[in-house]
Amino acid sequence: MEKNIKNERVLGIDPGYGRIGWGMVEKQNGNWVHVAHGCIETGAKDPFIDRLSELYRELEKIIKKYNPSCAGVEELFFFKNVKTAMKVGQARGVILLTLFQAGLEIYEFTPLQVKQALTGYGRAEKGQIQKMVSISLNLSCKGLQDDAADALAVAITCGASLRLLSMR
């Protein structure tokens, strides 16, 4: 049985702890359109726990302002640096908890799935993803940060997958 999706507004998240990309898309007249995007940036010199707290507060503000119906979050991929992977994993935990506490349905996608959905090629490069996001949402590539483009790519992938995902 299909779950009720209120306004089909999807928040996409590209996890991190220094810069967290986010993007919001909404279904209008059968198409996914851009609502907003940006990056949450935390201070490199701030204590790590303060950075996680700032991530939580800023993500909460975004959720309250844009009222998404669900969220897509990119899964972590292999990191060469274990220390970085641990910190991104902890930040991702904060992200997932914040989304859960907001009552959002959460869907997770691997980078390969996002690249495949947007370009048809699972090994697409950053520039190709950014270009497809720009074309799909009728946005200019200029000034679109990689992290925000990745988050919009996750949102588009999630939105395009909603009907299938809601039936599981």
Kindly list the catalytic residues.
14, 74, 147
* Sheet of 105-109, strand order: 31-41, 19-28, 9-14, 70-74, 105-109
Pair of tokens at residue 74: 């990119």
> 50 Cβ partners below 8 Å, 6+ apart?
42, 43
Nearest partner of 40 among 11, 60, 18, judged by Cα: 18
110 three-class SS: coil
DSSP 120: S
Pair of tokens at residue 117: 């959905």
DSSP 123: T
